């Protein structure tokens, strides 16, 4: 690991993924050599909390192009998690800054981008989809998805930028449903599982979109952070400020057009997940029955995520995280189903505050 001070620019440090990644960086064995700058929206409490941990707070937002670009030019590594999968302008600012850095220094710059498996999703409205399973050992398969898929416009900008600048070392991490209580300083709650639970708590029954036959993958937030740190370490060792030109790159560490990394540890159907929610709520006396029913079509948007509900809770997206496993990733945290009760308890507790 590098002995040179490594400048890291992290977005989303107050969020679920970014906050947990920040904790992982602060607990890293080489953390004393990290200089971390975190982009956050203006909030005195958040600024003070981050500063107390020797993290440099940068007040701004994804719309702050000049601010983001400038910090990127000063960074060895940028990790983007703040609405990164769909926010093209912030990604453009990051890459503009990193391009300027490589032009000035003549050395590599590292960009770790967070996308999501909706990019391979099938809009099947809860019905069983195709037999397609995407593996990150076959980047051509991923690059073959439609340019109109969610997140794809941002992913395309990244890989095209890497094609144009060989010193720009980009990777795109593609997590599925993320569950578990986060380890960040602020928001510790994910989106999909809590959203389904909130709807079930509100309506006193567990529900799903359509027949719930569509399949997705899942990953625990702590296992996901492990994946980020493994990829981060490999990139630093290969392209960081102290990287030795004579050191042979791990063949499974790929960047640019081949630099995709899934991060899954299991497959489930939406019905199975809703059944587990129903089981937990029935046990707690919140639901009168553990039986799972389907949301009425005209009530899906109002009870879940408005315009995105049909896709986020009823699509099919099957992936295999083979590349990061080849790099040494060993996910071992509790399963999605084993984490449902913990999430239910956390949401109930939050309503008491």
Q: Among positive and negative, which fits the CA dihedral 193, 223, 126, 307?
A: positive
- Mean per-residue pLDDT over the chain, rounded: 96
Q: Which of 322-334 are b and which e, b meaning 16 or more Cβ less than 10 Å from the residue's Cβ?
A: bbbbeeebebebe
Q: How far apart are CA 180 and CA 43, in angstroms?
A: 26
What pLDDT is stored for residue 3 in this prediction? 78
State the DSSP H helix or E strand holding residue 101, giving kind and residue range, or none if neither.
Answer: helix 88-105
What CATH number does domain 6-188+216-267+317-332 carry, 3.90.1150.10, 3.40.50.720, 3.40.50.300, 2.60.40.420?
A: 3.40.50.720
Quote the tokens at residue 102: 């490589």
What pLDDT is stored for residue 2 in this prediction? 63
Quote the tokens at residue 313: 């809770």
pLDDT (tens digit, 9 = 90+) per residue, 227-284? 999 999 999 999 999 998 877 889 999 999 999 999 999 999 999 999 999 999 999 9
Radius of gyration of the chain (CA): 20
CA angle 238, 241, 246 (to 5 degrees): 45
Q: What is the mean pLDDT of residues 133-137?
A: 98
Residues 6+ apart with CB under 8 A from 296: none
| Residue 278 CA: distances (Å) to CA of 106, 128, 180, 303 | 57, 21, 18, 16
What pLDDT is stored for residue 353 in this prediction? 60
Q: What is the mean pLDDT of residues 212-224?
A: 98
Query: What is the percent of the chain with per-residue pLDDT over 70, rounded to a whole number?
Result: 99
Domain ranges of the chain: 6-188+216-267+317-332
State the DSSP H helix or E strand holding residue 120, giving kind and residue range, or none if neither.
Answer: none
What pLDDT is stored for residue 4 in this prediction? 87
With a cut of 60, say whether residue 1 has pLDDT above it: no
With a cut of 60, say whether residue 218 has pLDDT above it: yes
Q: Residue 352 — very low, low, confident or very high, per pLDDT cuts 50/70/90? A: confident
Q: Which of 262, 233, 263 has its CA nearest to residue 110?
A: 233
What pLDDT is stored for residue 223 in this prediction? 98
pLDDT (tens digit, 9 = 90+) per residue, 52-102? 999 999 999 999 999 999 999 999 999 999 999 999 999 999 999 999 999
């Amino acid at each position: 690991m590098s002995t040179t001070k490594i400048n890291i620019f992290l977005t989303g440090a107050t969020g679920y993924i970014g906050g947990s990644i920040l904790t992982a960086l602060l607990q890293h064995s080489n953390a004393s050599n990290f200089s971390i700058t975190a982009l956050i929206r203006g909030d005195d409490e958040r600024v003070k909390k981050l500063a107390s941990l020797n993290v440099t707070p940068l007040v701004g937002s994804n719309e702050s192009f000049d601010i983001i670009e400038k910090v990127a030019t000063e960074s060895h590594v940028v990790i983007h998690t703040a609405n990164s999968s769909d926010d093209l302008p912030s990604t453009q600012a990051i890459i503009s800054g990193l391009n300027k850095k490589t032009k000035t220094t003549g050395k590599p710059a590292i960009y770790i981008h967070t996308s999501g498996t909706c990019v391979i999703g099938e809009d099947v409205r809860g019905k069983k989809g195709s037999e397609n399973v995407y593996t990150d050992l076959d980047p051509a398969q991923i690059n073959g998805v439609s340019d109109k898929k969610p997140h794809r416009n941002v992913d395309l900008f990244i890989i095209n930028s890497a094609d144009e600048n060989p010193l720009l070392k980009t990777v795109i991490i593609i997590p599925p449903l993320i569950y578990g209580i986060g380890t960040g300083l602020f928001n510790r709650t994910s989106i999909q599982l809590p959203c389904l639970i909130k709807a079930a708590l509100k309506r006193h029954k567990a529900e799903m979109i359509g027949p719930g036959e569509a399949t997705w993958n899942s990953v625990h937030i702590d296992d996901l952070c492990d994946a980020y740190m493994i990829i981060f370490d490999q990139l630093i060792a290969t392209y960081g400020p102290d990287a030795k030109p004579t050191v042979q790159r791990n063949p499974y560490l790929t960047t640019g057009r081949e630099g995709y990394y899934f991060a899954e540890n299991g497959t489930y159907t939406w019905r199975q997940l809703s059944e587990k929610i129903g089981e937990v709520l029935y046990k707690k006396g919140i639901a009168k029955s553990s039986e799972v029913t389907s949301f009425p079509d005209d009530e899906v948007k109002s009870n879940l995520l408005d315009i995105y509900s049909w896709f986020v809770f009823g699509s099919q997206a099957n992936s295999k995280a083979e590349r990061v496993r080849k790099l040494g990733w060993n996910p071992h945290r509790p399963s999605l189903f084993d984490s449902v009760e913990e999430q239910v308890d956390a949401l109930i507790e939050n309503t008491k505050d």
